[in-house]
Amino acid sequence: MERVSTIKIPDQWIQALELEPRVGHGVLVETNHDSPYASVLEDIFNLGVSAVHCVEGVPSAVILHDEHNDLIMVDRVHQSLWNQGLADFLFIVRDDAITIHTLWESTPNLEEKTTDTRLLDCLHLVNQADSIATLIPRIESGRLFADYSKKLNSESKVDARLIRDLAAYREILVKSDGISKNEAHEALLQAMFLRYLWDRQIISSEHTQHYSHGTYNTLHDLLVGSESGWYDFLSFLSKAFNGSMLHPNDSVWSKGKKTLSLFLQGEFDPITRQRLLLQLYQFDHIPVELISEVYDRFLEGGDEKGTAGAYYTPRRLANLVVDQAWPKIEAFLNNNSSFRILDPTCGSGVFLVSIFQRISAYLRSQSTAVDWDDLKQFASCLHGTDINPTAVRIAAFSLALAMLNERQPKEIEARLSEDAPLLPPLINNSIRKKNFFKLADSEKYQIVIGNPPWGQTKGDERQPGEVWCSSDKQYRQPPNREKSWPFLWKSSLHLAEEGQLHLLLPMKGCVLNKDADVCLDILANTLRIESFFDLSDLRNILFSKAKVPACILNGTQVNEKGISHFYEHICPKADYHSSQSGRILLAPEDRHSTWVSELINTPRLTCKRLMWGLHKEAQILSQLQRMPKTSDFLRETDQARKEAENDTPEWGVGLGVQFYNKSGKKEVKVPGIENKMHLVSSKALIRLAQPTISTEYPGTPIQWKNFYEAFEAPHIVVVPSTPANSGYRLRATYSEQPFSYTKSMIGVAVPDTSAGREFGKILTALLNSSLIGWYLFYTTDVGTDRERISQSSTFLLSLPFPAYCSFKDSDSALAAHGSIIQVMDEIIGSNRPPTSAQEAILDDLVFKLFHIRSEDAALIKEFVKEVRPSMHPGSIKSPVLWDSVRKEERDNYCEMLSLMLSKKMKGDRRFYSHVLHSSPKYALVRISRKSKESKEQPDTINAWGELLGSDSLNGLLFKALRHNVYIERAVFFFLGDDAYLLKPMQRRFWLTRSAYRDADRFIDYLLSPDAEESNYPQ
């Protein structure tokens, strides 16, 4: 494409948008050839835009100066940017106003008039200068997305739209043209490849004229007008590109001629069946990796890929995995060493394409000209296997597109006339249809990388991985029939000496599973775990199709299990930038160096503790786990019945009834409950004490009776989940009225004695407390993919519960014991649901019962109330921890920080802390031995203000760890007798737990031997 001269922005707009200090630091006015998005940026600037704003290198907003009010030019630029699918906003600058357009919507394109949904806002320079000045900062903070979230429709983006259109074309091909679904998939793949070649001008009218003897100028016309010429043309391309991707299926193209020709023409909407004013899709602008990703996602919705546990891997997530492998690949390139890389479940080839693009960028950085034969050689080093033949074709298609994208169209067109094939052989060579579990162990690779299938195998038929596990005695059957474990074990066997493994895996199936410790111990025989990325909090942002959170496991080949060693545990938290640009920002508390034995022996506790916990919380948890357990008096159903006197179990625990569902199982009659006992649903269960029930038991036959003894009063009934609408706590009720309930709830039979009732009320208060909600998060699987506790009723047997004697050993515990019973009696006597005040009083009393200090109780309450609701946010949802911190929250943090520092330093050393100065991004906290009322001089305050508002802080605070992964440093420095702490203005960093963490970090620094040598400790 001929380069359009770049239009400069008028000075008044440079000033209004405050662009000058950002040029070269987030705002680009020309292509940055060192950027991983260099080709995309070049494409953007070729459109004639004025500037591009990037968030951590990723194009986010494009600025266009529309000097002549040229609406046709604006539509052309907008449509091309929409096809790129990368930037989010287009700012159109005119004389006195700036309009903000979303790039998630395409240009209105139907012959009939439609509403232009692209326009988000219009700001005038005269009276809205303040709003204009905040546009760029609002992008950087993510606020612009939140402000316009109701107008941003992700289903209108190019990828979602193209997937819908492909599905519509498939439906026409199958239902109207009589083509099978698989044949339709293959024909559409070929058609997309042809559109890419045509739009990039690799093939042109010269070819269509040649194969039609000068008659036809377009692909559409050649297909419709000359079938023989069309098949000769496809045969020529198939030979030139050295693969079967374009091998013509005469029957399919003949039957679907009309439909496929409309796709090639690109001026038809297959959903509305209307003609378009212009081509919607521009395959010369759509990134090649997006094309292959779109097709893979399209197939995911059309066959059994999803049910097989195979889902497409988003580009930015694949890039994150490739980041882990890149240092070793770069070392191979630097040393001119040969290497082989394998993706055992290659799918669309997203990992192989990402590696190839990274290698190509590296070669370009080392030389002005990259030899085509070198690119072919490196592509041949990238191997993929997949059991699905369609996946093999897509992987080859994706890698072919990536290779072609490295050359100018004229060069590729010239090579088409040569006898030698343009591309290396891919299908049935480096990209193979193969059952990975039948791959010979002798096939070794320097790197194994990918995303194996996830989820539990359903049905009686065994998966290939299960068959493989049965054939080798050193491996066990995967727990819960998790698909990914056999792939993980098998992959480690294909590593060459000191080879590396980098796999994207499900957190629950591989790490949070109850038998994960055994599986990890088996893995340790062949793999040394080097680092672990826990992506749980980014679950709905990076991998929206996955129902469980993901992780990245990185390791090195070993021949035998070694001694325990330290590994790097990284657990990033979601924020505005990760939700929109994919940037991952690591705070200091998000990186840990930990003994690998902790991960292997207690994987669930280790991952949750490192992701969310504090050292103080670990201490509290350890204290609770050393206490007597509820199992000292509670018994499961069968054991309770064995120990029962007079056939009345005491403190028994079990599930409720299951209704008869006509499944062929024998109906069970349970004496004493039909037609006379009340039935309570989980929704009708009231926290703490159940008011009198008036509804009658419906008399429906039941299939399982379960623990029907707990239907009698007194009893406790528990809903075994901690959902948001329950405040992330259990919901348990105590009742002295008999009633039944279904198996979704758990019943506890309480002894019908005065002491039994007292303890029943204590246990009920405990079950409803935030303390137990917090305890269950760390000791069960809640908070991962769902909030229901999967251990049925057994989790109730492992809860901490003060022994009988502990009440007498402590006046405060005894007082709390009596007060809990008193409040419970008040609630029971009122025959109404408890008030929020009564719930809060009982919550406080439970902490006193366990001798937990008020500041530690505040830590736990905060976790349940603020941290838990902010976990696993969606792509647009804004959790409270993302918000800007309020003054009262800053003051609370400073008060807690002062308290923690004073306690840790002991003696008479009293510390004071307060916020000295703040900007929209950062705040400066001063820590002093002086009273916090001491004042700074005005000129000093102004200097602090200039510092906090300076973009130069980014260089100090942020350091690139890997591509699009950044470390945010914790910065302490000293001036005179005072210390200063620089903090982001995000609520997450001003919690009670932040004060605990900052106090520990500050004391550690004071005690470090180099405390006097550096003003900027991390």
Q: What is the pLDDT of residue 823?
A: 96
Identity of the amino acid at 720: P
Task: Using alpha carbons, select from 68, 31, 36, 33 the residue that is nearest to residue 52.
Answer: 31
Q: Phi/psi at 541 (nearest 5 deg)?
A: -100, -50
pLDDT digits (tens, 9 = 90+) for 612-642: 888 889 899 999 998 999 988 888 887 777 7
Report percent pLDDT > 90 for the chain.
Answer: 36
Of 24-38, 292-306, 474-488, 769-783, the poorest mean pLDDT is in: 292-306
**H helix runs in 47-175, sequence order:** 71-84, 129-133, 135-141, 143-147, 158-175
Cα 682 to Cα 824: distance, rounded to the nearest angstrom: 21
Cα 1016 to Cα 895: distance, rounded to the nearest angstrom: 24
Task: Using alpha carbons, select from 393, 391, 404, 311 the residue that is nearest to residue 356.
Answer: 404
Cα 847 to Cα 834: distance, rounded to the nearest angstrom: 19
**pLDDT reading at 690 higher than 60:** yes
Mean pLDDT value across residues 848-874: 89
Of 362-366, 370-374, 751-755, 957-961, the poorest mean pLDDT is in: 957-961
Task: Using alpha carbons, select from 990, 986, 769 the residue that is nearest to residue 860.
Answer: 769
Identity of the amino acid at 1001: R
The answer to whether residues 558 and 527 touch, using CB atoms and an 8 Å cutoff, is yes
Cα 794 to Cα 655: distance, rounded to the nearest angstrom: 10
**pLDDT reading at 1018 higher than 70:** no
The answer to whether residues 437 and 491 touch, using CB atoms and an 8 Å cutoff, is no
pLDDT digits (tens, 9 = 90+) for 888-919: 999 999 999 998 888 877 666 688 899 988 87
Identity of the amino acid at 200: R
Q: What is the pLDDT of residue 307?
A: 45
Mean pLDDT value across residues 457-473: 81
CA atoms within 13 A on the CB side of 7: 19
pLDDT digits (tens, 9 = 90+) for 549-603: 889 999 999 988 777 899 999 999 887 667 665 678 888 889 999 999 999 998 9
Highest mean pLDDT among 202-216, 312-326, 466-480, 793-807: 202-216
- What are the boundaries of each domain within the chain? 11-154, 159-286, 315-617, 630-870, 884-1007
Task: Using alpha carbons, select from 99, 52, 40, 49 the residue that is nearest to residue 76.
Answer: 49
Q: Phi/psi at 458 (nearest 5 deg)?
A: -105, 155
**pLDDT reading at 502 higher than 50:** yes
**pLDDT reading at 724 higher than 90:** no
Cα 964 to Cα 946: distance, rounded to the nearest angstrom: 28
Q: What is the pLDDT of residue 109?
A: 65
Report percent pLDDT > 70 for the chain.
Answer: 85
Task: Using alpha carbons, select from 103, 196, 119 the residue that is nearest to residue 158.
Answer: 103
Mean pLDDT value across residues 655-668: 62
**pLDDT reading at 808 higher than 70:** no
Q: Report the topology of domain 884-1007.
A: Threonyl-tRNA Synthetase; Chain A, domain 2 (3.30.980)
Of 33-42, 822-831, 984-993, the poorest mean pLDDT is in: 33-42
Mean pLDDT value across residues 862-880: 80
Mean pLDDT value across residues 43-58: 86
Cα 471 to Cα 460: distance, rounded to the nearest angstrom: 18
Q: What is the pLDDT of residue 698?
A: 56
| The dihedral sign for the CA sequence 857, 862, 868, 871 | negative
**pLDDT reading at 968 higher than 80:** no
Mean pLDDT value across residues 823-829: 95
Mean pLDDT value across residues 683-703: 76
- The mean of the pLDDT values for the chain is 83
**H helix runs in 301-453, sequence order:** 315-334, 350-366, 372-380, 389-404, 409-416
User: Hey, do 11-154 and 884-1007 end up sharing a CATH topology, with the first three levels equal?
Assistant: no
- How far apart are the two ends of the chain, measured CA to CA in Å? 48
**pLDDT reading at 661 higher than 70:** no
3-class SS string, 881-938: HHCECCHHHHHHHHHHHHHHHHHHHCCCCCCEEEEEEECCCEEEEEEECCCCCCCCCH
Burial of 661 (0-12, 13-18, 19+ CB in 10 A): exposed
Cα 502 to Cα 449: distance, rounded to the nearest angstrom: 5
**E strand or H helix at 240, and its extent?**
helix 227-240
**pLDDT reading at 644 higher than 80:** no
**H helix runs in 780-868, sequence order:** 806-809, 811-830, 836-849, 854-862
Provide CB contacts within 8 A for 971, sequence distance 6+.
956, 957, 981, 982, 1016
Q: Tokens representing 539?
A: 């679950």
Q: What is the pLDDT of residue 551?
A: 92
Mean pLDDT value across residues 967-990: 83
The answer to whether residues 65 and 74 touch, using CB atoms and an 8 Å cutoff, is no
Query: Which one is predicted more confidently, 244 or 137?
Result: 137
User: What would the DSSP string read from start to end of 271-298?
Assistant: TTTEEBSS-S--TTTS-HHHHHHHHHHH
Collapsing DSSP to helix, strand or coil, 123 comes out as strand
Collapsing DSSP to helix, strand or coil, 716 comes out as strand
**pLDDT reading at 4 higher than 50:** no
Cα 504 to Cα 488: distance, rounded to the nearest angstrom: 10
The architecture of the domain spanning 315-617 is 3-Layer(aba) Sandwich (3.40)
pLDDT band at 6 (very low <50, low <70, confident <90, very high): very low
The answer to whether residues 469 and 477 touch, using CB atoms and an 8 Å cutoff, is yes
The architecture of the domain spanning 11-154 is Alpha-Beta Complex (3.90)
**E strand or H helix at 190, and its extent?**
helix 181-199
Cα 707 to Cα 710: distance, rounded to the nearest angstrom: 6
The answer to whether residues 401 and 361 touch, using CB atoms and an 8 Å cutoff, is no
| The dihedral sign for the CA sequence 574, 578, 584, 587 | negative
Cα 599 to Cα 588: distance, rounded to the nearest angstrom: 20
Cα 28 to Cα 9: distance, rounded to the nearest angstrom: 12
pTM: 0.85
Q: Tokens representing 588?
A: 């200091």
Mean pLDDT value across residues 543-554: 78
pLDDT digits (tens, 9 = 90+) for 263-314: 999 988 898 888 887 788 999 898 887 887 787 777 766 544 444 445 667 7
Query: Which one is predicted more confidently, 670 or 712?
Result: 712
Residue with tokens 């935030």: 770
Cα 581 to Cα 863: distance, rounded to the nearest angstrom: 28
Burial of 493 (0-12, 13-18, 19+ CB in 10 A): middle
